Amino acid sequence: MQTLLNTIPNQTLQPLARSTPVKPKSTKINTTASLNKPTKEVIPKYLKTLVINLQSIRNKTADLEILLECEKPDIIAGTEIWLHPEIYNTEIFNSNYEIFRKDRADNHGGVLLAIKNTLIAEEITLPNSKNIESTFCKINTTSTSLIIGSIYRPPNSSLEYMQELCNQITTLKETNKNAVFWIMGDFNLPDINWKTLTIDKHQNLKDINELFIETLHNLSLDQIIKKPTRLNNTLNLFLTNRPGLVVDYEIIPGLSDHEIIKIHSQIKAVANTKPKRKILLWNKCNLTQLHQAALNFQQTFLLEKDINQPVDTSGISLKTILKAL
C-alpha cells in the first residue's frame, strides 16, 4: 500500500477546491442608538372604531383601560356615560384621547366621542341641539372630511324627540355634502328588522320607526349592523353614506348589558404632527463662562433692582437675561 502511494504524483492528491473560514460578522445591536432614535407616529390604513353603551363609565374605568390597551381603537362612540360637568375627562380617559362629550342634567344618559390624539378632530356645534343627546366631530382625512357622531335616544322618548334628532342629522348632512358620515350610538329601535328594513315589533310608535327609516332613505344613509347588540335586538347602530369603506365589523363582549361593535374602516386620516421644539445642546456650552455670566447677573440684579419694584417687571428682566445666556 505504501509503495502504491509513493507512485501517485502529489498533484493527484490535491483537493479540487479550497475554502478559508471567514470570521462571522458581529450582529451586536447598538441598543443606545435604537433607544435614542425618535419614533415616528404612524397613522394606520384602517381606522378602528368602537361603539359602546357604557351605563356609568365612571364605575368602569379599570375595565375601559383594559379594553383600550387590548383593542387600541382610534375612535370611540360612547352612550349612557352617566357623567356630570364636575367630572373631568382625565378622570376617565388617559392622555392618548381627546374627549368631546355631552352630559345629561340628571346624571344619566349622555354621550361622548373619544378621538385618538394622533388624529385631527374638530367639534361641530349644531343650532337647536340642546334637547338631543348627541355630539359630533369632523376628522381630517387624506381625501375628504369624516363627520362622526355619537347619539343616544332614550327608549321612552317621544315622536317629537325623533323628529328633532332626524332634523339634526339632516342639517349635518346638508351642510357637509361631500363628507363621509359615521353616525353611531344607541337608538333603542328594536322594532326595526335591519335585514329587511321592515317594522316587525311594536315597542315604539309606528311613526317613530317610519320617520327614522324615511330619514335614512332621504339622506342615502345605510345602517350596516345586522347582528343583535342587546339580547335579540339591534339597538346600537352605525349609519354611513359610504358603506363600501367599511371593511368588516364584529360584535364583542361589552361593558354593560349591551355588546360592543368593533368596526374596521378603509379610510386614512391626516396625522396630527407634533410641533418642533428647540433642544439646547448643553454638552457643547462653556460652563465656566455660563457660571460667570450668571454670577454677574446676580450681583447686578441685586444692586440695581428696587425691593418695591413690581414682580412682573423683575420677571421680564430675569427672562431677558436668561435668554441671552
Inform me whether the pLDDT recorded for 186 exceeds 90.
yes
More confident residue, 173 or 40: 173
- Name the nearest CA neighbour of 170 among 107, 127, 243, 219: 219
Provide the residue type at 44 as one letter: P
Rounded (10°) CA dihedral 101, 102, 105, 108: -70
Average pLDDT value for the chain: 86
The per-residue pLDDT for 291 is 82
List, for residues 275-322, the tens digit of each pLDDT value.
667 777 777 778 888 788 888 877 777 777 666 666 666 666 667 766
CA 175 to chain CA centroid, nearest Å:
25
Please give the share of the chain, as a percent, with pLDDT higher than 90: 64
The pLDDT value recorded for residue 130 is 81
Task: Enumerate long-range contacts of 310-316, CB under 8 Å, 24 or more apart.
Answer: none
For 198, phi then psi, to 5°, come to -120, 160
Whether 242 shows a pLDDT value over 70: the answer reads yes
| Residue range 115-140: mean pLDDT, rounded | 93
Q: Tell me if 225 sits within 8 A of 237, measured CB to CB.
A: yes
pLDDT tens-digit readout, 87-114 = 999 999 989 999 999 999 888 999 999 9
d(CA 162, CA 215): 10
Average pLDDT, stretch 67-74?
97
What is residue 209's predicted lDDT score, i.e. its pLDDT? 98
Secondary structure string (H, E, C) spanning the chain: CHHHHHHCCHHHHCCCCCCCCCCCCCCCCCHHHHHHCCCCCCCCCCEEEEEEECCCHHHHHHHHHHHHHHHCCCEEEEECCCCCCCCCHHHCCCCCEEEEEECCCCCCCCEEEEEECCECEEEECCCCCCCCEEEEEEEEECCCEEEEEEEECCCCCCHHHHHHHHHHHHHHHHCCCCCEEEEEEECCCCCEECCCCEECCCCCCHHHHHHHHHHHHHCCCEECCCCCCECCECCEEEEECCHHHEEEEEEECCCCCCCEEEEEECCCECECCCCCCCCCCHHHCCHHHHHHHHHHHHHHHHHHCCCCCCHHHHHHHHHHHHHHC
pLDDT value for 29: 45
For residue 6, what pLDDT is reported? Answer: 56
Task: Pick the range with the lowest mean pLDDT from 20-24, 106-110, 122-126, 156-160.
Answer: 20-24
pLDDT tens digits along 54-67: 999 999 999 999 99
The whole-number pLDDT of residue 273 equals: 74
Across 176-205, average pLDDT:
97
Is the predicted pLDDT of residue 9 greater than 70, yes or no? no
In this prediction, residue 307 carries a pLDDT of 66
67 near 253, Cβ under 8 Å?
Answer: no
Q: Would you say 98 and 113 are in contact if contact means Cβ atoms under 8 Å apart? A: no
Min mean pLDDT across 38-52, 228-242, 257-271 is at 38-52
* Span of 3-7, 55-59, 174-178 with lowest mean pLDDT: 3-7
Task: Please give the average per-residue pLDDT across 208-215, as a whole number.
Answer: 98
Q: What is the pLDDT of residue 22?
A: 56
Please report the pLDDT score of residue 32 as a whole number. Answer: 45
CA-wise closest residue to 272 among 82, 138, 90, 117: 117
Supply the Cα-derived Rg of the chain in whole angstroms.
33
